[in-house]
Amino acid sequence: MTRTEKKKDVVLVGFGWTGAIMGIELAQEGLEILALERGHDQATVPDFQYPNMIDELKYGIRYGMMEKPANTTVSIRRSLEETALPYRSLGTFLLGTGVGGAGTHWNGLNWRPMLSEYRLKSYTEEKFGADVIPEGMQIQDYPMTYEELEPHFDRFEKVAGISGQAGNVNGKIIEGGNPFEAPRSNDYPMPPMPSTWDGVKFRDAAKANGCHPFPSPGGIASKDYVNEYNMQMGPCNHCGFCERYGCYNYSKSSPQTAIIDALKRKKNFEYRVNAEVLRIEMAPDRKTATGVTYFDHKTGEEVFQPADLVILSAFALNNVHLMLLSGIGQPYDPNTGEGVVGRNYAYQMLGGYTMFFKDENFNPFIGTGANGYCIDDFGIDNIDFGKEGFIGGAYWRAGQTNGQPGHTMPLPADVPSWGAGWKKGIGEWYGHAMSIGAHGSLMSYRDNYLDLDPTYTDRHGRPMMRMTFNWKDNDIKMINFMQTKMKPIVESMNPTIAQAGFKKEGAMFDVRPYQTTHNTGGTVTGSDPKTSVLNRYLQSWDAHNVFVMGANTFPQNTQYNPTGMVGALAYWAAHHIRKDYLPNPRPLV
């Protein structure tokens, strides 16, 4: 059964960060706007309330806030030859669902990419020569410049409520901030958060070793704060339940905290939950979309929702899946190199040291998702690609995020996994460990991509999306370089025990342990329709009334957590839709 709803000016597919940003910006134009969210409704009260929210089993281990693989998942293979198998239970990445999306359960780390990252291909060729780019690597430039994006980074940081210490304001280096950051027009809207002991120990060791530590920038309120939409944040109490949880304290930046209540008050805005978009519908000439068809889980029927403008604002993987299912743009073929949808899927390369200090107390349960201190001394702008033999870089951070013992229990390697020795080990070492993590870039490659699975289907009978992904030598070399640089700093801290955790050559993608939910690429933005799905305004090359938000627009992954860039790109696109597209709807490039 299909019913047809009354036409809207704009339909937003997904109601997380980018859906909320697009909603509130376009609502100011007086348009009739509808957001469709596949998941449930959720708000700080009652859904994130203390104490029920800080339940490790329900949310931290059974993933109560995440999309259930039974409802939506992907299949995964590590090479073109392997048969993809479904990602049946959650492990390496955790996809959000419901109002607020992944923006409710993130850690809050908020960054602007380094200057080289916006024009990585040109930068690499100009500085080190085209021959440093290995065979099979498909890095590209962003089609917009950092200078163009800067006001939108600034805006997102002010809306989201980011705490931090500027290191470069309009070219002036500020002591205590990140001297390597791209120049910003303003300091962060809130001062940095205080750090726990582990972060301070790292700060002092990094400084003593000639590095430039600065407080981690994050969407965690260090004081009371009101943003431009009159949304309020309260100072964080360091409860240690950020990642995988909603914030009960109005302290962690989220669509709920920063935008949604203000948006709900607008009469020309409506949202529907349990409304899962199945596909974008196209006009007969396939040059424009006519709206979307969604499955209404409340009534069990398919609904056609006509709209003049369709904005995909779901999680990265879902946006790509919808473009593939709707046949907008040519799907990418890794054998011929032709096609674009699904091309340049990327992830994140992580590594680090865990250190044990027998006689020190870290109280690991005191923390935030964006706690501690960072360095960017080994960031991508500071790496000689020619000399080191890889393209990329990493920022480092020490700052405990949680001490929840069910899933965060670092132990020395000689502690057995069970029995009397394990029990003795947890008693001896809980609270006496800290870590330094290197959070590294990951490039795009010919055979890391997304397409439709030939075998597995979802609950609506649609082909599941298939992820073909494995680690590549370039990024493993990058993270091993980080290990060689981190080792002396770790040793200078004189831990009782230090354990390295870095991938080695030949490492295969393991879907079981949690790694990161920084899934990027698949519908990248670019200046050439042969190598991108979206133009510089995140507008589809193929259907001018379809715009696509999210980290799926990244040509390759940066060395940072993606939300800051995702927010800036959404404000950039909203600005150009308001200014250029609405007065005269057409291809903007």
Partner 1 sequence: MRDIPGLPSRRGFLKASAATAAIAGIAVPAKAEQKPEPVALTEYKPDCLKPSEWAFVMAAVARLIPSDGEGPGAIETRVPVFIDKQLAGDYGKASDWYMQGPHDAAADPLRGWQTPLSPLEIYQQAIPVFDDWCKTTHGKIFAELDAATQDKALTSLQKNEMKIKPELNQFFTILLGNTKEGYFSDPMYGGNHGMQAWSYIGFPGARGSYKEWVGKHNVKYPLGPVSISGERG
Region binding partner 1 by CB under 8 A among candidate stretches 118-126, 264-272, 417-425, 569-577:
417-425
Region binding partner 1 by CB under 8 A among candidate stretches 19-27, 83-91, 95-103, 523-531:
83-91
- 518 counts as catalytic: yes
DSSP per-residue string spanning 470-491: ---HHHHHHHHHHHHHHHHHHH
Closest separation between CB of residue 100 and partner 1, Å? 19
Q: Could you say which of 174, 511, 582, 588 contacts partner 1 (CB under 8 A)?
A: 511
Q: Could you say which of 3, 40, 88, 264 contacts partner 1 (CB under 8 A)?
A: 88
| Rounded-to-integer distance, Cα 346 and Cα 328, Å | 21
Q: Measured from the CB atom, is 63 or 445 closer to partner 1?
A: 63
Q: Measured from the CB atom, is 48 or 571 closer to partner 1?
A: 48
Total residues contacting partner 1 (rule CB under 8 A)? 64
- Contacts for 284 with CB less than 8 Å, ≥ 6 apart: none
Taking CB under 8 A as the rule, does residue 54 contact partner 1? Answer: yes
Q: Measured from the CB atom, is 470 or 499 closer to partner 1?
A: 470
| Rounded-to-integer distance, Cα 362 and Cα 114, Å | 32
**Token output for 443:** 């490039």
Query: Which x/- pattern, by CB under 8 A, does the window 31-50 give for partner 1?
Result: -------------------x
> For residues 355 and 497, is the Cβ–Cβ distance under 8 A?
yes
Q: Could you say which of 171, 210, 427, 506 contacts partner 1 (CB under 8 A)?
A: 427
**Token output for 126:** 């100009």
Closest separation between CB of residue 421 and partner 1, Å? 9
Query: What's CA 551's distance to the chain center, in Å?
Result: 6
Closest separation between CB of residue 370 and partner 1, Å? 13
256-279 burial, b if ≥16 CB within 10 A, otherwise e? bbbbbbbbeeeebbebbbbbbbbb
Q: Could you say which of 2, 170, 417, 584 contacts partner 1 (CB under 8 A)?
A: 417
Q: Measured from the CB atom, is 73 or 520 closer to partner 1?
A: 73
Closest separation between CB of residue 461 and partner 1, Å? 11
Helix (H, G, I), strand (E, B) or coil at 238: coil
Taking CB under 8 A as the rule, does residue 204 contact partner 1? Answer: no
How many Cβ atoms sit within 10 Å of the Cβ of residue 228? 12
| Rounded-to-integer distance, Cα 163 and Cα 115, Å | 21
Q: Residue 322: which of 179, 523, 165 has the closest Cα?
A: 523
| Rounded-to-integer distance, Cα 219 and Cα 252, Å | 6
Closest separation between CB of residue 21 and partner 1, Å? 30
Q: Measured from the CB atom, is 404 or 448 closer to partner 1?
A: 404
Taking CB under 8 A as the rule, does residue 80 contact partner 1? Answer: no
215-244 residues in contact with partner 1 (CB under 8 A) are: 235-241
Taking CB under 8 A as the rule, does residue 63 contact partner 1? Answer: yes
| Rounded-to-integer distance, Cα 240 and Cα 250, Å | 14
Q: Strand (E) positions, 383-505? A: 394-398, 433-440, 449-457, 463-468, 497-501
105-134 burial, b if ≥16 CB within 10 A, otherwise e? bbbbbbbbbbbbbbbbbebbeeebeeebbe
Taking CB under 8 A as the rule, does residue 460 contact partner 1? Answer: no
Taking CB under 8 A as the rule, does residue 2 contact partner 1? Answer: no
Closest separation between CB of residue 237 and partner 1, Å? 4
Q: Measured from the CB atom, is 200 or 582 closer to partner 1?
A: 200
| Rounded-to-integer distance, Cα 360 and Cα 372, Å | 17
Catalytic residues: 518
* Residues in contact with partner 1 by the rule CB under 8 A: 50-52, 54-57, 61-63, 68-70, 73, 76, 83, 85-89, 91, 194-197, 200, 235-241, 248, 360-363, 365-366, 403-406, 417-420, 422-424, 426-427, 430-431, 455-457, 508-512
